[in-house]
Amino acid sequence: MRAAGKGAKENGHWTPIADGEGLYSSGIPDFDRLLGGGFRRGSLALFSLDESVELGDLDRLLFPVYLNFLYQSRGILAVLPTRDSPHDFRARFTRFATRRRFDTRVRVVDYVGEDRGLSYVASMTDAEANPLKEKASIQKILAAEREVQGNRKRPYIELHAFEVFDTLMGTEKALKMWYYGVKRARHMGNLVIGLLGPGLPCAAGVRRMADAEFALHHDDVGLIVRGVRPSFPGFVVTAAATPDDPHVRFVPTPA
């Protein structure tokens, strides 16, 4: 598939691809075509990863989605994979967006005390010192939500690395929390992007909640994305020619 002209950078900025009715564009024209126009509003899009998928692979596929939201004055509330950190995520992201845009529209929820004190980090470890820590944590999350929504209360991306909650809370409690969270996201019209690592006990329960699912793996030709729901064959996620250009296209896997 050939990348369309929409979404090209102008003067160092991302030009967003317009959303279809009831949809959010992925920021990748080839991906949008496979999705029937984009991700459904208020849906959970699940990305199942095997051991071969690295952070750089996720950046290549998901940064266009994030940028397409940010450049329409929408935000991101993120729980990052274990291998990532708020500071590193921001450093990679701000190759393609200004620091100001990131700092005002992105909040990273942290449960282990990494990069505490930064404006874009909502640290849950501070709430642990409160006797009513569950209530304090909820208040922190709600404050972060208000910041990414902005004054106009726009919908936003919820990025969830499921390994974090499954490890910290246990599968049963985590699944209950996600059930209510996904229901709330549907009501608010948010886009939930779920990252499901290999071997997680919560996998079956998370898949039952998902509206769409994509399987990712990395082999000799690069990152491969295959559609589970909706079903489509594997494509190589191919980066643009220069490292400072976040655009990608989908190329059919070699026969």
Q: Which domains does the chain have, with CATH numbers?
A: 41-252 (3.40.50.300)
First to last CA, the chain: 15
- 93 Ramachandran zone, left/alpha/beta (phi>0; psi -120 to 50): alpha
Digitized pLDDT (tens) for each residue of the chain, 255 residues in all: 333 344 444 334 789 999 999 999 999 999 999 999 999 999 999 999 999 999 999 999 999 999 999 999 999 999 999 999 999 999 999 999 999 999 999 999 998 888 888 999 998 876 444 444 667 778 888 899 999 999 999 999 999 999 999 999 899 999 999 999 999 999 999 999 999 999 999 999 999 999 999 999 999 999 999 999 999 999 999 987 676 789 999 999 986
Calpha distance 181→91 (Å, rounded): 28
**Helical segments of the chain, H only:** 29-35, 55-70, 86-93, 99-105, 133-149, 162-169, 171-188, 203-209
Looking at residue 11, its pLDDT comes to 35
Looking at residue 1, its pLDDT comes to 36
Parallel, antiparallel, or unpaired: how do β-strands 232-239 and 222-229 relate? antiparallel
Take residue 226 and report the two structure tokens written for it.
Answer: 């295959």
Alpha-carbon Rg for the chain, nearest whole angstrom, is: 18
Burial (CB count <10 Å: 0-12, 13-18, 19+), residue 172: exposed
Listed residue (101, 46, 55) closest to 75, CA to CA: 101
Can you give the pTM of this predicted structure? 0.91
Looking at residue 7, its pLDDT comes to 45
- Helices 86-93, 55-70: crossing angle, 10 deg rounding: 70
